[in-house]
Amino acid sequence: MNSRMEIPWSPAINKPSFDQNFKTRQILGKAANSFKGGKKFLKKCHNNIGQHHKHILSKNI
């Protein structure tokens, strides 16, 4: 009975943290865009992440 009672709580606990992370990312995105060259910086980071993922994928194959 106890283990069955715990299951419904997990989505309730996880959802606020997800919403919080999403809001934080939105705020950081807006802050970066407000700086001069913020978009360039974000694009550079995004490209670096993309290259890193390609490297991992090629390593695994």
Mean of the per-residue pLDDT values of the chain: 64
DSSP per residue, the chain: -HHHHHTTHHHHHHHHHHHHHHHHHHHHHHHHHHSTTHHHHHHHHHHHHHHHHHHHHHHH-
- The domain segmentation of the chain, as residue ranges, is 2-60
Lowest mean pLDDT of 25-29, 44-48, 52-56, name the range.
Answer: 52-56
- Is the pLDDT at 59 greater than 60? The verdict is yes
Mean pLDDT across the stretch 5-28? 63
Q: What is the pLDDT of residues 20-44, one digit of tens each?
A: 777 777 877 777 667 656 567 667 7
| Contact status, residue 41 vs residue 32, Cβ threshold 8 Å | yes
